[in-house]
A and B are shown apart, each in its own frame.
Chain A
Amino acid sequence: MPQTLLAFLAMMIVTLLAINQQQRVLRIYESMLDDEMEVMAAGVALQALEIIEAQAFDSATLPVGATVTDPSELTALPFATNNGCSLRGLNALCDDVDDFNGMTPDTLSFSMRNGVTYAFEVTATVDYVTTTGASVAISAVPTYDKQITVILQDVPQPGGRRLLFNPVRLTRLKSCDACS
């Protein structure tokens, strides 16, 4: 009887160890995938930032050559949202950076071998900020600096599973060149 109990105990311990190890391996694999997805998402985020940053600072600085002498001339807060901006072929409504604030999520893809692509949902927020030294704070009134933040999440796999644990956020500041 004691021998049977000991054998049972040994098998139980070893089973627990095996389950524990399997879970650990699974976590390692998920972490590897998440790392991969983060790097790819960062690449796509840079592309989205470049597209948004390439637009004018504000509608008040358009057409090119227009100047702003006081922050009150800039677009007032809160910015409009969901005005149909797309990161794949822009329209006339989206000609300055704050037009992208709260945009309807658009899909940008990361290209891979054999024409395979991996899609990410991209959205953006834009804020006026004040900069003091290295610190940046969101401002409640218009300033000559805008902070563009793009937020990416991978498109769900069949079954609704996402490979990115958390959305990737990248931020960039754009200053007004036409302001004085």
Chain B
Amino acid sequence: MFFIYDNLAATLVAMAVMLVLLSMQQRMRDVSIEQVGMYTAKKQSLDFGLWMRDDIANIGLGVSGAPVVAHTPHATLPGMTSTFTFLKKLNPSDPTPATISYQLEEVYETDGVTQQTIQVDTLAVPLFEVHRYVNGTLDGKSAPYITYFAIDLLDVNGASVAGVLALTQQVRMTFSMGVPYASRSYVRETHWGATVQVN
């Protein structure tokens, strides 16, 4: 104790140095967690995006008429798509094309009633997942972190077909995915988009 009192100034300086070093270590740990969260979201986002793009890129394959069957905007969330259904042959040898449907489904807490959310800035953003159905049977889905999902049907010049499905020449896909631990993250959402030509 006498030693500390004898070197009071040095002790205070040493404590200050230790405090700064500890806070630096804490900060780097937080940034590392952010990077892992961001990497996870990015990987899930790219995996899902490329998988969906490859699927939709062959829209209308082996179909004689208009390949887009249904496109339903979300009832309450502006710009988002609830259902997108189209036809294509999964294999060239198939006698008839398959009906493939992408549907946006809410993600619920374990109570089955409350929709899960993710904190982005001051907003609690609802979470979704996108399900893919082939002839009515579930055949794959995205990670349950989708915060925005839009399929836009465009004509040859990139303008909206405004509900006339037969005019569809291009399909633009856009979605956003929440980053895990978003409330502590600098980047809260990751985004992905692509446009493909209809066969």
Contacts and interface: CB of A to CB of B under 8 A. Distances in A.
Interface of B is mostly: mixed
A177 interface: no
Interface in A134-155: none
A39 B28 contact: no
Given A36-B191, A39-B190, A89-B157, A110 B27 contact: no
A42 B31 CA distance: 27
Interface stretch (A13-21, A60-68, A69-77, A125-133): A13-21
B42 interface: yes
Interface string B1-36: 000000101100110110011001001100100010
Contacts, number: 113
Interface residues of B, number: 45
A113 B38 contact: no
Given A14-B20, A21-B27, A32-B38, A44 B13 contact: no
Contacts of B79: 111, 113, 115
Contacts of A42: 193-194
A17 B27 CA distance: 13
Q: What are the 7 tightest A-B residue pairs by CB atom distance, in nearest-first order?
A: A43-B193, A47-B195, A7-B13, A113-B148, A51-B158, A90-B157, A50-B195
Interface of B: 7, 9-10, 13-14, 16-17, 20-21, 24, 27-28, 31, 35, 38, 42, 46, 77-79, 125, 147-148, 150, 152, 156-159, 169-170, 172, 174, 176, 186-187, 189-197
29 contacts: A3-B10, A6-B10, A7-B9, A10-B14, A10-B17, A17-B20, A21-B27, A21-B28, A29-B186, A29-B187, A32-B186, A33-B187, A36-B190, A39-B190, A39-B192, A40-B192, A42-B194, A43-B195, A46-B195, A46-B196, A50-B158, A54-B156, A87-B158, A89-B157, A89-B159, A90-B157, A110-B191, A112-B176, A113-B77
